[in-house]
Copies of this chain bind each other. A is one copy, B any other.
Amino acid sequence: MGRGHMARRNTNRRVGIADVADKAGVSHATVSRVMNGNAAVDPGIAARVRAAAAELKYQPNPVGRSLALGKTDTIGIVVPDLANPTFQAILRGLSIAAAQDGYRVLIADSSEVTSEEAILAGEARRRCDGVVLCAPRMSDAELEELAPTLHPLVLINRTTVATNTPSLSVDYGQGIQELAQHLVSLGHQRLAFLSGPEHSASNRQRLAGLDQFRTGHPDIELQMLDGGSNFDSGHESTEAIIASGATGILAFNDLVAMGLLSGLHERGVRVPEDISVTGFDDIPFAKYTTPPLTTAAVPINELGSLAWRRMREQIQQAGESATQAQDEFPPRVEIRKSTAAPALKPAS
């Protein structure tokens, strides 16, 4: 009877701890002990167990372990759009850093659907030991309500009043001002900002930065144009940009700038001779555009690995809700070839 049961299990199921125990002639508790090196086990028995495990190619079932240990060795990340190189870079940095500590990452793409974010984050949290929320589009109120339920949580490009949530953010307001300053110092008098997604917090920061810039430079014309966050929206804005008469264009990000570059090229508008264009983010492609893109570099590759470090800190000091660092990174203006002094106008 018992044998029959065992036989069925052996053929049907994966090899489990019980099979190893049987083969080694010990209890499964002992197998667990030697596999984890937790308690002292007689060397002879340990060797027997290890031999049995090796012969059966036993690998502990992670689900069983997770249930017993109350941890999954997995963290979740939710991003608004996996097609965006910035988020791809963060995901990559996070994944590699986490892997080094034996953690995996589960990924959730909200596809810019704001209402899905909280749900995805909650699901991810339940499956994982923590979650990093990347540039969430949800409202401040919703974020404040959600954050405590997600702990351990790392925020990227958003902050919380809850001091026990570390956040990593880029000072977009500062960066866009520096880019505008760069254009002005080249001699541009008419600027235009091609803005990003409405619900993007980083777009609001850029807007705020430009407001500040305006007050410091009342003489400079600065138009605001609606745009998006990808190639196509940059490309589609070509006409509007040309019509604006601006000579210095601040694109929402590198993707938009690249789309614009392409559109301008098609229309025969020369960059930077006729129009200067700046991006934002310094994605890997930025220095390979023609002309190479002047942009504000954010530490895109470190963001992911730093996010992991902050997550690990929280996981290790389990329970204690110490106040966490809220890092803010200043972008670094990267001057390339897409910006230059404007052509001298016949009549100034």
Interface string of A120-146 (1 = CB under 8 A from B): 001110110000000000000000000
Interface string of A315-332 (1 = CB under 8 A from B): 000000000000000000
Task: Point out the residues of chain B lying under 8 angstroms from A235, CB to CB.
Answer: 288
Copies in the complex: 2
A83 at the interface (CB under 8 A from B): yes
B104 and A105 form a contact (CB under 8 A): no
Within 8 A of B (CB), among A87-112: 88-89, 91-92, 95-96, 99, 104-109, 111
Task: Point out the residues of chain B lying under 8 angstroms from A127, CB to CB.
Answer: 62-63, 74, 104
A88 to B104, CA, bound (A): 17
Q: Closest residue of chain B to A92, judged by CB? A: B82
Taking a contact as CB atoms closer than 8 A, the residue among B63, B126, B231, B287 that contacts A288 in the complex is B231
Taking a contact as CB atoms closer than 8 A, the residue among B91, B96, B106, B111 that contacts A104 in the complex is B106
Assuming the A-B contacts A91-B82, A108-B104, A127-B63, are A231 and B284 also in contact, with contact meaning beta carbons closer than 8 angstroms in the complex?
yes
A285 to B227, CA, bound (A): 19
Q: Closest residue of chain B to A149, judged by CB? A: B57
A292 to B263, CA, bound (A): 11
Taking a contact as CB atoms closer than 8 A, the residue among B88, B95, B262 that contacts A292 in the complex is B262
A243 to B108, CA, bound (A): 47
Q: Closest residue of chain B to A105, judged by CB? A: B107
A37 at the interface (CB under 8 A from B): no
A104 and B107 form a contact (CB under 8 A): yes
Interface string of A265-302 (1 = CB under 8 A from B): 10000000000000000001101111010000000000
A259 at the interface (CB under 8 A from B): yes
Task: Point out the residues of chain B lying under 8 angstroms from A66, CB to CB.
Answer: 63
Taking a contact as CB atoms closer than 8 A, the residue among B74, B83, B290 that contacts A289 in the complex is B290
B126 and A111 form a contact (CB under 8 A): no
A82 and B95 form a contact (CB under 8 A): yes
Q: Closest residue of chain B to A61, judged by CB? A: B126
A244 at the interface (CB under 8 A from B): no
Interface string of A232-266 (1 = CB under 8 A from B): 00010000000000000000000000110110010
A72 and B82 form a contact (CB under 8 A): no
Contact sample, A vs B, 23 pairs, CB 8 Å cutoff: A59-B122, A61-B126, A62-B126, A63-B72, A74-B127, A83-B89, A83-B92, A95-B108, A95-B109, A96-B109, A99-B108, A99-B109, A104-B106, A104-B127, A105-B106, A105-B107, A231-B284, A231-B285, A235-B288, A262-B288, A262-B290, A288-B289, A289-B290
4 smallest CB-CB distances across A and B, nearest first, come from A290-B290, A82-B92, A262-B288, A63-B66
